[in-house]
Every structure is written in C-alpha cells, then in structure tokens.
Structure 1
Amino acid sequence: MKRFFCTMISILLLLFLMLYPEEALLCAQKGMQLWLNILIPTLLPFMILTGILIRTDLISQILLPLEPFLSKIFGISPAGACALLFGLLCGYPMGAKVTSDLYTAQKISHREAQYLLTFTNHASPVFINSYLIHTCMKGQFPAFKIFGILLASGWLTMTVMRLGYFRGNTLSKISGTKKETSSSDSPGAVLDASIMNGFETITRLGGYILMFSILNACVRHFWKNRSILSYLLFCLLEMTTGLHQLSLSSLSADTKCLCALITVTLGGICVTAQTRSLVTRELSLLPYLASKLLNALIVMILFLFITKII
C-alpha cells in the first residue's frame, strides 16, 4: 500500500512538472534557496560538531555532574541531555538525529531513545522568533506569549509521556557492549567521519525539501478553495512555505496565530519524513507522532485559554 501510494504521488508530480514547468520551477527554486541559505549555514555546523562530541563522548563527561538533576527532572542521562540541548538550539530535525546517533553509538538505551524522541524534536527558537513571530505574524503577538505557550505545552507533553507512555523511570541499562572511542581514531579521522555524515544528512534534507515544495505547489494549484482547512493542509505539507501562504491569507490574526502554532508544533509531513529518514529503523515513530498530536492539542487549549478567557 505504501509503495502504491508513493508511486501515485510520483506520477502526479511528474505530470505537474511537465504540464506546469514554470510554476514547478519557481517552487523548486524557493525550496532550494531555503536549503542553501538557511539550512546549510545553520544546521551543517551543528551536525558536524555533534558528530564529534558523540564520537569522542566528551558531552557525557561534561554533563556527568548534572546526572542527579537530569534524571529527576527530565528522566534522562547526561548523554541524553545532548539530544535535549541540541534539539532546543537547532530545531527540526536535529533533536531526532542526535537521539538516533546516541542510540546507534550505544550511549543511551532503546527506552531512553524512544522517550527522547517525544520532546527533543521541535522548531528552533531562532525560527520561531525571526520567521514565525516577525515575518509571518508581523509582531502582532508578543514573543513571550508565543514562547510561553510552546514551552508550557512542551513541558506538559513531556510530563504526560513520562508518566503515561513511559511510566516509571525512563532510564534503563544499555543492552550489549558499549562502544568506546578507539584510541587509534585520530582527531582527523573523527573530523572526517563527522563532516561526511553531516553532508550526507544535509543533502538528504535538501531532497525532502525539494520534493515537498513541488508537492505543495501542486496541491495549491489544483486546490483553489482558500478556507482555514486549505491553509492548514498547506502548512502540514511543508511548514515554511505553508506559513508563508498562511501569512498572506485573509484570516483573522488570532486564527493565523493558532494555525501557525499548531504547524510549528506538529512540524508537518515533510519534517516527519525527514525525521524518519534520519532515525534508525530500530526506533519506532509511534510515540513521537502521539506526542506531537498531544502537544498540538495542548497548544490549542493554552492559546484559546489565554486569548479568549484571560
């Protein structure tokens, strides 16, 4: 069924490229500009540096004194805190990638990796502040209110997942023999491996952004209705271009803000596909998807409570 669905989408995009080449080219250029001008300069250095930290295991040693705090408050290990930190700073899909890399390197257990996926993969503060608040919403809503809603919903989601889905202590012993960094691995070899891994990952992300930009253009071309559902669909297909279309709509400011918050919380189908491509197949995305839906529901409740009641 998945293969049939992918085949039909591919045929549809091929027809769209042949019948409407100018429109498809314009959207493809915008997608590649996003990848070249934003993703590569912002994400690639972090990908290389996190690869070095994971391969040398330095981050776990640095955060080791905080182990009691991390275990009690977040239910994670010092190594797991690396995914939390870089996910917070870098945004999609770095949290998921670092979590998967830590699990593959046997720095964290399978249970902790599944738990980390539920709250480390989200939009970056820079993206929210610069693109969402100032570019899309024109500063109509205070930054502290937007960040307050997102942080509160993220914390509540993490708590619910920890007490519900991952009941009890989320830490567990790592199965198998832990892989230690070999003394024969020179700094140059570690750097080379981290650079190659970073470029492979960023190239993969560029491919996803290119294909989903064309898909978004195809849907917008044939779906002429411009209701709130259509804008939500555009946002859920590809987050950045969808938010741009939402900002140009005639919807009320409150409706735009709510749709935008739901969008950055869910990430959309493109981000989910990127996340699946970067996460090892040994980790299931079901807890991740469940946490995203829960987070979006909490965001909607908090936004309506703040704007309509307070």
Structure 2
Amino acid sequence: MKQILKTIIYSGVTIFLTISLIRFPDQALEAGIRGLNMWWEVVFPSLLPFFITAELLLAFGVVKFIGILFEPIMRPLFNVPGSGSFVWMMGMASGYPTGAKITVRLREEEQITKIEAERLVSFTNNSSPLFIFGAISAGFFHDLKLGTLLAFCHYASNALVGICMRFYRRSESKLEQRNSRDSYNFSILRAFREMHETRMKDDKPLGEILGDAVLNSIKTLVMIGGFIILFSVLIKLLYLLGISPAIASIGNQFLSLFGLPDNLALPFLSGLFEITIGANMISQAATDTLLQQAVVISFILGFNGLSIHAQVASILAKTDIRYFPYFIARLLHGTIAVVMTVILYKPLYVDRHTLEMHEIPVTQEVIHGNIWLTIFHYLKDFGPMITICFIGIGAIILYKRKK
C-alpha cells in the first residue's frame, strides 16, 4: 500500500509539472535560461577546480596524510577522523555541495565509517565566500560590510553545528572511538608512510587518474546544473500558479511572531527553494531595518535551500549515508545563524558603519581590492568559456576511452 501511494504521488507531481510547463512555456523557458546562466557562468567554473583537486589529492594519498596530522584536532572537536579537516576546508572555500561530494569519496574508500560520514556531511556543506561577498553583499545589497556579518555568522554557527553533531549516535561508535585513541599521537613519519601506501594501492597511470578526476567532476557538476535549472523553473511555476503567494500568506503569521514584515514571506519561501533567487528577492524587499533582511538571509544560507538539499541527497544516494541527519543539521545551522546575526549585528555591522560614517559603494577600486569580488566578476566574463572548454574535454576523454 505504501509503495502504491508513492507511485500515485510521484506520477501526480510529474503530470502536474508537465501540464504547468505546457501552460506557461515562455515563462518556464525564461526561468530555465536564468538557472542555466547561473550554472555555466559561476557554479561550474568555480566548483570544477575544487572537485578535480579533491579527486587528485584523494588518489595520491594526500588526504590520508592530512587526516593523520589533524586527527588530534578533529576527533576531540567533531568526533570525525582527521581527514574531515580536508572536507571542511574544501567545503568552506568552494561552497555546497563540495562537502557532500568529498565525504562520499572518503566513504567509498572506507576512510570513514557510516556514522562519521553522516556527522561530517552535516557541517561541511556551507556557502562559499565567493557567494556571500560577491553575489549577496556586493551584487544584491551593494554593501561589502554586510558580507562580513553574514560570513562570520554563517561559518561560526556551522562550526557549532559540527560540535553538536559530535554526539550524534555516539553510543553506536564505540569501536571507532577506541581506534581513534591510538591515532591521537602526532607523527609526520606515519603520515608519509600512509600517504605512500595509499598512492601505491592505485596502480593506474597518471593520465588515467587525471581523466577520472575530470570526468567524475564534470558528471557531478552536470547533475548540479540540472537541479539548479529544475528548481529555477519550479519556483517560477509555483508563483505563476498562485501556490507560492498562497503559502506565503500563511507564512506571514509565522514571520510576524519574530517581528519580521509580511513582504519578506514570499522572498523567504523562494529562498527555502533556491538561495540565490531568494536572496535577490530579499534584497529588493522594503524593510524597517537591514537586520530583518540579514536575519532571513542568514537562515536560508544555513538551511541551504531545497535545491542544495536535492543535490546532496542525490550525491548521498549511491552510498549508505543517510540524508536525514543532514536535514536536521541544516535546520540547526539556520537557527544558530539567526541568533548570532541578531547578537552580532551591532558590533560587526552598525558600529563599523558608525566609524566609517557611510557604506562603501561597490566601485571598480573596491572590486580590485577584494579577492572574492575580483574572482566573481572574472567568472561572469570568462565562466561560460571555461564551462564549454571542460565539457568538450570531458567529451573527448569519453570518446577516446570508448574507442
């Protein structure tokens, strides 16, 4: 009976989407192009180097080396192996869903247990500085100081989530805790030995390793692009059909409990589906203070948006890593980020404005003085070219291997 119900729901939703696409073809096409532009201009070129680098570092045993060195830090703090430090740093630098992608690779190579993977994926998927400073603070709000507040609250609250998740299923991981006590000793010699042994296990030639790294990264990024386009179209269709405004009207009462204006309900709902679209709508909403907008953006940054959730769930689906702990951790991250934003709004934003008298306009001089803004603007210019080139390289590699 349960499976029959699932079949009815899945088929009903699919038919509903098909009819909606036929009803609003022009608007759906416009939304799809907007999602495609976001993917090939920024997402693909910004994530590809991190994905390829992560694949190569795993293949050459460098992650094993890092893991042994950082075991005395990561195990007491987050109750995960030292290799989790690599996942955390890469996820923080490149943004979601890099943390989930690398966690899955570590699980496939049996460098971490199932429970450790579920802990790790819960706090290694966060927004990148490129998105917070480049897209949100400079692109949407035209206020660089807001990026400092959002970034600090986002990363600090994510670290607190990791500390909370260290207690997740702790009673079921006695064996890993006993094994980890033997790994607390800092030893560069043992780290080098483990790195060498890991590299020797993979006897593929260098060219094949590079090809695998490129292909695996492109496959994941194409999947991510599909989700971005799908949710961009879905948000537009829900708005055209009057579903989003109806849900937003119900959400007005929820926001009023926290002293937030009604006109943030629809942008907040959109942000729960896709962060970029929601953040842009929030920046355009009229509010009494910027704090109200910052609070809502902090929550959707921590929650990640259902588009990111779908990407992470798809990446985790081929392993035994469960998605539910990640979902709970995202709710916790959003909640903690909101509390920190309220507390730190005055010292990290208002006081800085008072000292400098006015906000800094986003001019060309400011852009060239900020590394994240510089990267963001270069990606907008050269991102499509990079995307097309690497998709072509991937096609050539696949063609030669099949031939």
TM-score strictly above 0.5: yes
Where do residues 221-260 of structure 1 align in structure 2 (5 Å cutoff)? 221-223=240-242, 225=245, 227-252=263-288, 253-260=290-297
Where do residues 21-40 of structure 1 align in structure 2 (5 Å cutoff)? 21-40=25-44
Pick the aligned partner of 1:191 from 200, 203, 210: 210
Structure 1 residue 114 corresponds to structure 2 residue 133: no
Task: Indicate how the Cα distance of structure 1 residues 153 and 166 shifts in structure 2: closer, same or farther if over 3 A, else same.
Answer: farther
Counterpart residue type for residue 321 of structure 2: L
The alpha-carbon deviation at position 215 of structure 1 amounts to 0.1
Gaps of 5+ in 2: 181-196, 249-262, 351-403
The alpha-carbon deviation at position 48 of structure 1 amounts to 1.5
Counterpart residue type for residue 310 of structure 2: A
Gaps of 5+ in 1: none
Structure 1 residue 205 corresponds to structure 2 residue 224: yes
Counterpart residue type for residue 295 of structure 2: L
Equivalent-residue separation in structure 2 for 1:285 and 1:67 (angstroms): 25
Partner of 2:79: 75
Contact 2:98 2:125 in 1 (8 A): yes
Any idea what the Cα deviations from partners look like across 1:75-108, whole Å, max 9, x if unmatched? 3323222211211111110001100111011122
Instruction: Classify the secondary structure of the residue corresponding to 1:282.
Output: coil
Equivalent-residue separation in structure 1 for 2:168 and 2:105 (angstroms): 26
Structure 1 residue 220 corresponds to structure 2 residue 239: yes
Partner of 2:300: 263
The alpha-carbon deviation at position 3 of structure 1 amounts to 4.1
| Larger-Rg structure | 2
Deviating more after overlay: 147-156 vs 261-270: 147-156
Any idea what the Cα deviations from partners look like across 1:239-271, whole Å, max 9, x if unmatched? 112222222222342222111111111111110
Pick the aligned partner of 1:282 from 320, 325, 337: 320
Equivalent-residue separation in structure 1 for 2:241 and 2:31 (angstroms): 15
Equivalent-residue separation in structure 2 for 1:4 and 1:17 (angstroms): 20
Instruction: Classify the secondary structure of the residue corresponding to 1:157.
Output: helix
The alpha-carbon deviation at position 137 of structure 1 amounts to 2.6
Contact 1:16 1:218 in 2 (8 A): yes
Counterpart residue type for residue 276 of structure 2: T
Task: Indicate how the Cα distance of structure 1 residues 72 and 134 shifts in structure 2: closer, same or farther if over 3 A, else same.
Answer: same
TM-score (norm 2): 0.70
More helix by share: 2
Equivalent-residue separation in structure 1 for 2:199 and 2:8 (angstroms): 43
Counterpart residue type for residue 283 of structure 1: I
Equivalent-residue separation in structure 1 for 2:329 and 2:168 (angstroms): 11
Instruction: Classify the secondary structure of the residue corresponding to 2:18.
Output: helix
Deviating more after overlay: 84-93 vs 156-165: 156-165
Counterpart residue type for residue 228 of structure 1: L
Equivalent-residue separation in structure 1 for 2:175 and 2:291 (angstroms): 38
Contact 2:119 2:168 in 1 (8 A): no
Contact 1:114 1:283 in 2 (8 A): yes
Deviating more after overlay: 187-196 vs 71-80: 71-80
The alpha-carbon deviation at position 171 of structure 1 amounts to 4.6
Deviating more after overlay: 219-228 vs 90-99: 219-228
The alpha-carbon deviation at position 179 of structure 1 amounts to 7.9
Where do residues 82-161 of structure 1 align in structure 2 (5 Å cutoff)? 82-139=86-143, 141-161=145-165
Contact 1:266 1:293 in 2 (8 A): yes
Any idea what the Cα deviations from partners look like across 1:42-73, whole Å, max 9, x if unmatched? 11121122112112222221453333233333
Task: Indicate how the Cα distance of structure 1 residues 251 and 281 shifts in structure 2: closer, same or farther if over 3 A, else same.
Answer: farther
Any idea what the Cα deviations from partners look like across 1:16-49, whole Å, max 9, x if unmatched? 2222221111110010011111111111121122
The alpha-carbon deviation at position 191 of structure 1 amounts to 1.1
Instruction: Classify the secondary structure of the residue corresponding to 1:230.
Output: helix
Counterpart residue type for residue 217 of structure 1: K
Matched residue count:
307
Equivalent-residue separation in structure 2 for 1:170 and 1:37 (angstroms): 46
Equivalent-residue separation in structure 2 for 1:248 and 1:211 (angstroms): 24
Contact 1:59 1:82 in 2 (8 A): yes
Task: Indicate how the Cα distance of structure 1 residues 179 and 10 shifts in structure 2: closer, same or farther if over 3 A, else same.
Answer: farther
Report the aligned-residue RMSD: 2.7
Partner of 1:296: 334
Equivalent-residue separation in structure 2 for 1:258 and 1:81 (angstroms): 29
Deviating more after overlay: 158-167 vs 195-204: 158-167
Contact 1:276 1:285 in 2 (8 A): yes
Equivalent-residue separation in structure 2 for 1:9 and 1:78 (angstroms): 43
Pick the aligned partner of 2:50 from 35, 46, 49: 46
Task: Indicate how the Cα distance of structure 1 residues 240 and 2 shifts in structure 2: closer, same or farther if over 3 A, else same.
Answer: farther
